[in-house]
Amino acid sequence: MTSVGYDPAAPGAELERRGIRLGDVLFQGVALAASVAATALLGLIAYQVFSDAWPAIEQFGLSFVWTEAWDPVKDTYGALTFVYGTVVTSVIALLLATPLSIAIALFLTEIAPRRVAAPIATLVELLAAIPSVVLGLWGILVFGPWVRDTLEPWLQSFLGWCPLFSGEPSQAGMLPAALVLTIMIIPITSAICRELFSRTPRDLMDGAMALGSTRWEAIRGVMFAYAAPGIAAAVLLGLGRAFGEAIAVNQVIGGANSIHISLFAPADSLGSRIAAQYQGATSALQASSILYLGAILMVISLVTNVLAQVIVRRFERSRRAY
Amino acid sequence: MTTIPSDDRYDITVRSAGLRRRKLTEKAYAGLAVASAVIAVAILALVLGTVIHKGLSALSLDFFTKPRPLFGQAGGIADALVGSALIVSMAMVMAIPFSILVAIFMAEYAGPRLSVALRIVLDVLNGVPAIVVGIFVFGLLVVGRGQSAIFGAFSLAVLMLPMVARATQEVLEIVPRSLREASLALGVTRWRTTLSIVLPTAIGGILTGVVIAVARVAGETAPLLFTSSIAANQISTDVTNALPTLPVSIFVFSESPDPGEQAAGWAAALVLIAFVLVLNIVAKVVAGRQRRKHEGV
Amino acid sequence: MKRAALATFALVGALALAAVAGQAQASSSATKDTQLVGTGATFPFPLISKWIPEVGKAYGINITYSPTGSGAGIAGITARTVDFGASDAPLSDQQLADCKGCVVIPWALAAVSIPYNLPGLNGRVHLNGATLASIYLGTITSWNDPAIRKLNPKLSLPDTKITPVYRSDGSGTTFAYTAYLSAVSGQFSRRVGNNTSVNFPTGVGARGSSGVAGVVRNTPGALTYVDAAYSIQNKLQFAMIQNRAGRFTTPGLRGIAQAVSTLPKKITSPAQLKIVDPPKAAGPLAYPISTFTYVILPTSSAKAAELRKFVYWAVTQGQKFGPPLFFVPLPTSVKAYAYRELAKVKVAA
């Protein structure tokens, strides 16, 4: 413990006279080192993935991204099947999850009384806590067969004319994977939306209703307009989560090698293909191509993440003007 | 002088068709909102219910004391429980001090722009998919050396870092400046102030962040697939080799055709979910207590 | 008070960590010399599972084997992340070169069964190479296709869609199966080819022998290729496959034994161990999709002594555990080849 009195003869006295404490310098140095290391870690991840993918990048170039091929026998590879699978499953999940999440958030902030809202909010958060491998287990053994036996035939009965819903129902395919992703995204998006809606300034809403609008019209006109950027950010964050999910998707998507139009047919996504094949690549080029898939996945996750953050920061800045 | 529109649609004294329609729309959307919440809760109930129902029947004393089975035998998850416990503990040891230091730097020492830059770095790190972290650690550490529980723990620590750091940073910033200034005015060094005054004040929030991060990584499968998946079917504490883990075991059981192994998968999922849910509830309780303490201040 | 609690907690935590670390150190130093870690093919996993406790009893060697697929086995031993790799597919020249001094030793012999899921069928399905190739090429899509009905005149085949299931991971079983299909179907050979991982144009992928058996079990109308032990274990009905002699055969012990009956007396390379689509001379019961499965060892290893004990035991005494699991004991010529290759495994300098 430092004494209150100042002893000029004591060691470190010169430093102390200048107001510099050795302990402080050391501590700040350690904290700085940790922060530098955290930043370096991010760079290292990008570097490692790209350098391992380099042989494939060199061999196939950028056209890898839109080439539909995955043939270890001929040693030619292309990512289109998996990019397509990732994008389609994630977009479908988003289209289904976003209105549901907004509705849930509205329910929790506007409709439900406080005593009901709190436990229901907890339950929705618990949905986020379910590990993806458990959702996948449920997907393989319970949900997939139900989709094959009940949901897909039902959809086909009135939508069968559409190529998206053609073909034989299957328990492994694009549709079960998209639905599992929906279940994963809902808690994330609804939690963010709930935050946004509860932070809408009350006087804006009250003003609208004083002018004669119904509750719903006030919500639609005022709350959504106020929260729109935040909702966009929530959507993007959910999308990023969906892009990156590998395990649960791998369990229910069916591991197909080419693109099929029907949502019922097996497909594959970037994360899922990496999880399935990385350890058993037959050639160095295949291993490197799988890492190229990882690089693509990293890039699209990064882009959605950064976009979400840009929107959030611009949102925060404009809100502070209020 | 503006003329007030005499549109019957907006005259609330007139019970017009327009008002009825608008009220109906309001009820319809309210109904949709309620229905959505019901759907969400129903899905949760469905998944949890199935896990509990199918998992309970497979639970037995054997399940908790025997290791995973070889082909054609019965077994349990004792080795996976030990492995998971060791790996998650090591991940905590690796991640927590590191994350707290980063958060301290952001909250106490960094200027506003540096702090924002670091926040962006952490948020981007948070967005890196778990499978990419898995192949990163595989390429960096496992190739040439073999799998080990330590590498698995490192991959989980990479996932924990942004979560714990951001949570800690947010809590540290809430600690009132007056507390720090009072301490410094009394002659306590800056580092002492941070460690002995600021951190303990924020401990509740830090604990919440840690517990949530642990709940998240306890269920992560992808990084462990690459770093700790080739493990003996026996209880082992040798962390220099790969150890079996709960999530990877569930992953393997889920693809098995054997009903016995599938039942083991449900039971293991039940154990994992119970653990994760308990942690989440603990986090909520701690967060609630923190909030009440601060509101009282 | 709080500080005391935190301090106690930290102390207990540190002690616990020290205890764990100490035990880890102790256990690792005790078992490092007598522990073998291997990974690879799921195909021989039933037999290896029987070997592990026996080798433990006989020599005190603690073996860890994780069935991750032949591709992962080859990759693992090439990267030396494991002590031995297992694969149903022999190494190609490129893979041998990449492995930098590895030997490929056959240590078990079994057959690839073709299980299917058609509940309530009045008999066992008969198939041949041409129909299997068409199924996996997607040109035959329904169980009551004329080509299948022609082979099964007495069966009332339903109108169910066939879901061909294949291995999504790098698999030696895929290697053996595609070798067979490429041998009997030129179109398959051109369009898909023969490898541990191929581009099947249709069907559903699953990981591991367990995975494909699981999908077949859960999906009416599905069909796959998997080691016979998995079909039996999971009570899946498997098809009888027509051989070159025109007879429909099962992946049983006699079928496999006849399939290897035309092997040369002296084996000099794994290329001679290709036994799919055996000639007519092999015998009327020869099963056309039989395969050897191999262990891959580094020629120079610190654990060479243990590896040699393990593999020698497996090739000799281990074979008697095979028949109940539909693994046929290795023929003498193959055993001799195994001993010669095993002699090349030496302790690292």
**Chain B partners within 8 Å of C52 (Cβ):** 70
CB pairs under 8 A, 24+ apart, for C153-158?
C154/C122, C154/C123, C155/C121, C155/C122, C155/C123, C155/C125, C156/C121, C156/C122, C157/C118, C157/C121, C157/C125, C158/C118, C158/C121
pLDDT digits (tens, 9 = 90+) for B148-192: 999 999 999 999 999 999 999 999 988 888 888 898 898 888 888
Q: Say whether A123 and B40 touch across the interface (CB within 8 A).
A: yes
Lowest mean pLDDT among A6-15, A71-80, B277-286, C11-20: C11-20
Burial of residue B281 (number of CB atoms within 10 Å: 0-12, 13-18, 19+): middle
Residues A28 and A32: their CA atoms lie apart, in Å, by: 6
For chain A, the residue count is 322
Which residue in A has a C-alpha nearest to residue B220's C-alpha? A131
Question: Given C17, C24, C37, which is nearest B230 (Cβ)?
Answer: C37
CB contact B36 to C (< 8 Å): no
Name the minimum distance, in Å, from the CA of C80 to any CA of chain B: 6
Tokens of C112: 């690839």
Residues C90 and C85: their CA atoms lie apart, in Å, by: 11
- Under a CB-based contact definition with an 8 Å cutoff, are residues B168 and B99 in contact? yes
Mutation for A interface: B169, B180, B249, B251, most A CBs within 10 A: B251
CB contact B24 to A (< 8 Å): no
pLDDT of residue C203: 93
**Chain B partners within 8 Å of A243 (Cβ):** 129
| C129-137 vs C172-184: helix crossing angle, rounded to 10 | 110
**Chain B partners within 8 Å of A39 (Cβ):** 118, 121
| Mean predicted confidence (pLDDT) in C118-136 | 93
Which candidate, C14, B139, B43, places its Cα nearest to that of A49? B139
Burial of residue C20 (number of CB atoms within 10 Å: 0-12, 13-18, 19+): middle
Which candidate, C100, C157, C102, C150, places its Cα nearest to that of C124? C157
DSSP per-residue codes, C199-253: --SSSEEESHHHHHHHHHHHSTTEEE-EEHHHHHHTT-EE-EEE-TTS-EE-SSH
Name the minimum distance, in Å, from the CA of A156 to any CA of chain B: 23
pLDDT of residue C31: 45
Beta bridge partners of C85: C39, C296
As a whole number of Å, the end-to-end CA separation of chain B is: 53
Q: Say whether B266 and A42 touch across the interface (CB within 8 A).
A: no
Which candidate, A179, A169, A164, A178, places its Cα nearest to that of A262? A164
For residue C222, what are the contacts with CB-CB under 8 A and spacing of at least 6? Answer: C116, C117, C162, C163, C164, C165, C204, C215, C216
Question: Given A171, A258, A286, which is nearest C218 (Cβ)?
Answer: A171
Dihedral, CA of residue C233, residue C234, residue C238 and residue C243, to nearest 10: -30
| Mean predicted confidence (pLDDT) in B197-222 | 91
Q: Say whether B40 and A100 touch across the interface (CB within 8 A).
A: yes
Asked if the model's pLDDT at residue B59 lies above 50, the reply is yes
Tokens of C74: 């080859």
Which candidate, A65, A247, A301, A242, places its Cα nearest to that of A138? A247
- The pLDDT-based confidence of C26 (bands split at 50, 70, 90) is very low
CB contact B145 to C (< 8 Å): yes
pLDDT digits (tens, 9 = 90+) for A65-82: 999 999 988 889 999 999
**List of E strands, chain A:** 70-71, 76-77
**Chain A partners within 8 Å of C94 (Cβ):** 283
Question: Given C21, C27, C49, which is nearest B71 (Cβ)?
Answer: C49
Name the minimum distance, in Å, from the CA of C117 to any CA of chain A: 14
- The pLDDT-based confidence of C1 (bands split at 50, 70, 90) is very low
Tokens of B258: 């054997």
Asked if the model's pLDDT at residue A310 lies above 60, the reply is yes
Does residue A256 or residue B288 have the better pLDDT?
A256
- Under a CB-based contact definition with an 8 Å cutoff, are residues B104 and B173 in contact? no
Which chains neighbour C (Cβ–Cβ under 8 Å, 3 or more pairs)?
A: A, B
Element (H, E) at C300: strand C300-301
For residue A245, what are the contacts with CB-CB under 8 A and spacing of at least 6? Answer: A132, A181, A184, A271, B129
Does residue B143 or residue C325 have the better pLDDT?
C325
Lowest mean pLDDT among A17-26, B72-81, C245-254: A17-26
Which residue in C has a C-alpha nearest to residue A68's C-alpha? C199
Asked if the model's pLDDT at residue C141 lies above 50, the reply is yes
For residue B148, what are the contacts with CB-CB under 8 A and spacing of at least 6? Answer: B142, B227, B228, B239, B240, B241, B242
CA of residue B144 relative to chain centroid, distance: 31
pLDDT of residue C33: 52
Question: Which residue type occupies A141?
Answer: L
pLDDT of residue C30: 42
Mutation for B interface: A7, A35, A98, A300, most B CBs within 10 A: A35
Strand order in the sheet with C126-127: C126-127, C240-242, C248-249
| Mean predicted confidence (pLDDT) in A121-144 | 90
CB contact C13 to A (< 8 Å): no
CB contact A35 to B (< 8 Å): yes
Beta bridge partners of C192: none
Q: Say whether B146 and C82 touch across the interface (CB within 8 A).
A: yes
Mutation for B interface: A134, A186, A252, most B CBs within 10 A: A134
- Under a CB-based contact definition with an 8 Å cutoff, are residues A35 and B118 in contact? yes
- The pLDDT-based confidence of A197 (bands split at 50, 70, 90) is confident
pLDDT of residue A322: 47
**DSSP three-state, residue C293:** strand
Mutation for A interface: C190, C204, C219, most A CBs within 10 A: C204
pLDDT of residue C335: 94
Asked if the model's pLDDT at residue A157 lies above 60, the reply is yes
For residue A302, what are the contacts with CB-CB under 8 A and spacing of at least 6? Answer: B124, B127, B128
If interface means Cβ-Cβ distance under 8 Å, which residues of chain A face chain C?
69-74, 140-141, 144-145, 148, 168, 170-172, 250, 254-258, 266, 268, 276-277, 279-284, 286-287
Which candidate, B247, B227, B202, B199, places its Cα nearest to that of B84? B247
CB contact C201 to A (< 8 Å): yes
Asked if the model's pLDDT at residue B241 lies above 90, the reply is no
**DSSP three-state, residue C66:** strand
Question: Given A27, A111, A302, which is nearest B30 (Cβ)?
Answer: A111
- The pLDDT-based confidence of B18 (bands split at 50, 70, 90) is confident
**Chain A partners within 8 Å of B118 (Cβ):** 35, 38-39
Could you give the C-alpha distances from B153 to B98, B227, C73, C105, in angstroms and in order?
14, 9, 24, 35
| Mean predicted confidence (pLDDT) in C176-204 | 94
Burial of residue A6 (number of CB atoms within 10 Å: 0-12, 13-18, 19+): exposed
Q: Say whether A280 and C206 touch across the interface (CB within 8 A).
A: no
pLDDT of residue C254: 93
User: Mean pLDDT for chain B?
Assistant: 87
Asked if the model's pLDDT at residue A91 lies above 70, the reply is yes
The answer, yes or no, to whether ipTM is higher than 0.85 is yes
pLDDT digits (tens, 9 = 90+) for C44-89: 999 999 999 999 999 999 898 988 889 889 988 998 888 999 999 9
pLDDT of residue C342: 93
- Under a CB-based contact definition with an 8 Å cutoff, are residues C167 and C69 in contact? yes
Which candidate, C166, C167, C149, C150, places its Cα nearest to that of C158? C149
CB pairs under 8 A, 24+ apart, for C155-158?
C155/C121, C155/C122, C155/C123, C155/C125, C156/C121, C156/C122, C157/C118, C157/C121, C157/C125, C158/C118, C158/C121
Name the minimum distance, in Å, from the CA of B127 to any CA of chain C: 27
Strands C226-227 and C102-113: antiparallel
Helices H, strands E: what count in chain C? 13, 16
CB contact A279 to B (< 8 Å): yes
Residues B235 and B244: their CA atoms lie apart, in Å, by: 9
Q: What pTM was estimated for this model as a whole? A: 0.88
- The pLDDT-based confidence of B256 (bands split at 50, 70, 90) is confident
Name the minimum distance, in Å, from the CA of B236 to any CA of chain A: 24
pLDDT of residue C28: 44
pLDDT digits (tens, 9 = 90+) for C285-339: 999 999 999 999 999 988 999 999 999 999 999 999 999 999 999 999 999 999 9
- The pLDDT-based confidence of B234 (bands split at 50, 70, 90) is confident
- The pLDDT-based confidence of B4 (bands split at 50, 70, 90) is low
Which chains neighbour A (Cβ–Cβ under 8 Å, 3 or more pairs)?
A: B, C
pLDDT of residue C14: 58
CA of residue A127 relative to chain centroid, distance: 15
- The pLDDT-based confidence of C234 (bands split at 50, 70, 90) is confident
Mutation for C interface: B237, B251, B253, most C CBs within 10 A: B237
